[in-house]
């Protein structure tokens, strides 16, 4: 097992001509046994960061330490890491047994019996002991993914690196595999870095989540931290599904004036000091229909989800999404007045996009209820 220290990590691609900064001064300490998820939009540097940790990329600057030992210049095969990728290329002409045992045959001088024993142990852990004699083409997507996992865990590595390992699976299987992977990881206690572009997956799986954007680390924290206390408007917008509603408002004393007649007067206006204009954020799940709130909406679409309704509305030029109880079913085309609580309002600086105010509600919200099932 190992801690991973990433210090001032920078990775540029390209030579003198056009330089791409894929990873820009990332600092992160990953604890022993932790399940850390890197999340961010496509192209934000997740894969590159992971490949630097694996030793598959030379870093431009900065260092990587495993358990306090500098591995920055160590080759991938000298680092005790196992990787699982989205395209888990199994060897097509090898049986499951051979596929799982492959890393051991390659890297150790263990006897065939010892390797077989270890393969069976791993297969049992993954519930695929029946499949050991099969060829990859005989397996379902989920079974193939388990074999790929088996091949990764058989060496008992210090570090797991997983790059969107579940992306190729259908939604139902993906959610089963998420749970299985988490259970397996906590059972093995192996420090794990997991990459996904899917914030739902990140929220559901990570002990902590590292949010990246344009090569820069935006925030590291628990799901609750990044949901309730995002450092900036990007994190607030990326975490949470459906996305937070945001718009610009003019500040006049204690009152905000926004698009389409939005108006709200703060009980505690101290947060507004020094701002003439400000960005306002209200999450869909914090909007209500049973109270007057000063947030006028024109309902355009009502989407029934069974246990709740998604309302799509416009407020002036702004599109709004509200997540309300299933009994709340306004007609399409109806004018409504959404309510919300001051403690649920987010505010962001209009120039820096940094958070000025985030959720202050004391209530212990189960943020996972807000994570839409995909």
Closest distance to ligand ADP from the beta carbon of 40 (Å): 6
Residue partners of 112: CB distance under 8 A and separation at least 6: none
Residue 329 vs residues 104, 189, 369: alpha-carbon distances, Å? 60, 47, 21
Per CB under 6 A, 48 contacts ligand ADP = yes
Place of tokens 């088996």: 150
The H-assigned helical ranges of 69-166 are 96-107, 112-125, 141-153
Binding of Mg ion at residue 49 (CB under 5 A)? no
Q: Which of 28, 44, 223, 324 binds ligand ADP (CB under 6 A)?
A: 44
**Strand runs (DSSP E) across the chain, as ranges?**
4-13, 20-30, 35-39, 61-66, 69-70, 81-84, 159-163, 191-196, 208-213, 216-221, 245-252, 255-257, 263-265, 277-282, 295-304, 308-315, 318-325, 335-338, 346-349, 355-357
Tell which one of 46, 228, 275, 288 touches ligand ADP (CB under 6 A). Answer: 46
CB 345 within 8 A of CB 360: no
Stretch in the footprint of ligand ADP (CB under 6 A) among 44-52, 216-224, 269-277, 318-326: 44-52
Q: Site size for Mg ion, by CB under 5 A?
A: 1
Nearer to Mg ion by Cβ, of 54 and 115: the residue is 54
Instruction: Compute how many other C-beta atoms are within 10 angstroms of the C-beta atom of residue 117.
Output: 12
Shortest spacing between CB 42 and Mg ion, in angstroms: 7
Residue with smaller CB distance to ligand ADP, 20 or 301? 20
Query: Which one, 47 or 358, has the nearer CB to Mg ion?
Result: 47
Pair of tokens at residue 301: 């679409």
Q: Which is nearer to ligand ADP, 50 or 126 (CB)?
A: 50
Chain mean position to CA 166: 13
Q: In the complex, what is the shortest distance from the CB of residue 58 to ligand ADP, in angstroms, rounded to a whole number?
A: 11
- The smaller minimum CB distance to ligand ADP, of residues 165 and 284, is found at 165
- Choices 42-50, 60-68, 98-106, 218-226 (CB under 6 A): range interacting with ligand ADP: 42-50
In whole angstroms, what separates CA 165 from the centre of its chain?
Answer: 13
**What's the rounded Cα separation, in Å, for the pair 122 and 270?**
58
State the residue for tokens 């263990």.
Answer: 110
Q: CA dist 192 to 78, 118, 142, 225, 264, Å? A: 18, 21, 20, 20, 45
> How many residues line the site for ligand ADP (CB under 6 A)?
11
Site string for ligand ADP, 13-32 (x = CB under 6 A): x------x-x----------
Binder among 11, 47, 131, 264 for Mg ion (CB under 5 A): 47
Work out what residue 358 binds among ligand ADP, Mg ion, none; the CB cut-off runs from 5 to 8 Å by kind. none
Query: Which of the stretches 45-53, 63-71, 97-105, 183-191 binds Mg ion when contact is defined by CB under 5 A?
Result: 45-53
Task: Tell me if 301 contacts ligand ADP by CB under 6 A.
Answer: no
Residue 43 as a binder of ligand ADP (CB under 6 A): the answer is yes
User: Based on C-alpha coordinates, what's the Rg of the chain?
Assistant: 24
Q: Does residue 218 belong to the site contacting ligand ADP (CB under 6 A)?
A: no
What is the contact surface with ligand ADP in residues (CB under 6 A)?
Answer: 13, 20, 22, 40, 42-48
What is the contact surface with Mg ion in residues (CB under 5 A)?
Answer: 47
């Amino acid at each position: 097992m190992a801690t991973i220290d990433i210090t001032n990590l920078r990775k540029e691609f390209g030579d003198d001509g056009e330089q791409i900064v894929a990873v820009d001064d990332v600092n992160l300490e990953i604890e022993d046994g932790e399940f850390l998820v890197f999340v961010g939009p496509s192209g934000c540097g997740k894969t590159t960061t992971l490949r630097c940790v694996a030793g598959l990329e030379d870093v431009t600057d900065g260092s990587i330490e495993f358990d306090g030992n500098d591995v920055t210049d160590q080759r991938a095969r000298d680092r005790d890491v196992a990787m699982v990728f989205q395209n888990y290329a199994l060897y097509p002409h090898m049986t499951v047994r051979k596929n799982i045992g492959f890393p051991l045959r390659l890297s150790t001088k263990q006897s065939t019996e010892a390797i077989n024993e270890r393969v069976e142990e791993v297969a049992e852990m993954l519930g695929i002991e029946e499949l050991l004699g099969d060829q990859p083409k005989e397996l379902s997507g989920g079974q193939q993914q388990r074999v790929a996992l088996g091949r990764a865990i058989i060496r008992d590595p210090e570090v797991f690196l997983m790059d969107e390992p579940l992306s190729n699976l259908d939604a139902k299987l993906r959610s089963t595999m998420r749970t299985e992977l988490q259970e397996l990881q906590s059972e093995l206690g192996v420090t794990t870095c997991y990459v996904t572009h899917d914030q739902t997956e990140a929220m559901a799986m990570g002990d902590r989540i590292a949010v990246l954007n344009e090569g820069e680390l935006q925030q590291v924290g628990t799901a609750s931290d990044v949901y309730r206390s995002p450092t900036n408007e990007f994190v607030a917008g990326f975490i949470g599904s459906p996305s937070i509603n945001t718009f610009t408002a003019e500040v006049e004393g204690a009152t905000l004036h926004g698009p389409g007649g939005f108006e709200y007067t703060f009980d505690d206006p101290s947060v507004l000091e020094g701002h003439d204009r400000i960005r306002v954020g209200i999450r869909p799940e914090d909007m209500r229909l049973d109270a007057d709130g000063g947030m006028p909406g024109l309902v355009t679409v009502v989407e029934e989800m069974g246990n709740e309704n998604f309302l799509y509305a416009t407020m002036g030029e702004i599109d709004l999404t509200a997540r309300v109880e299933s009994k709340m079913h306004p007609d399409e085309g109806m004018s409504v007045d959404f309510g919300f609580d001051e403690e649920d309002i987010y505010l962001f600086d209009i120039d820096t996009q940094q958070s000025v105010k985030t959720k202050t509600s004391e209530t212990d919200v189960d943020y996972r209820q807000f994570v839409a099932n995909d």
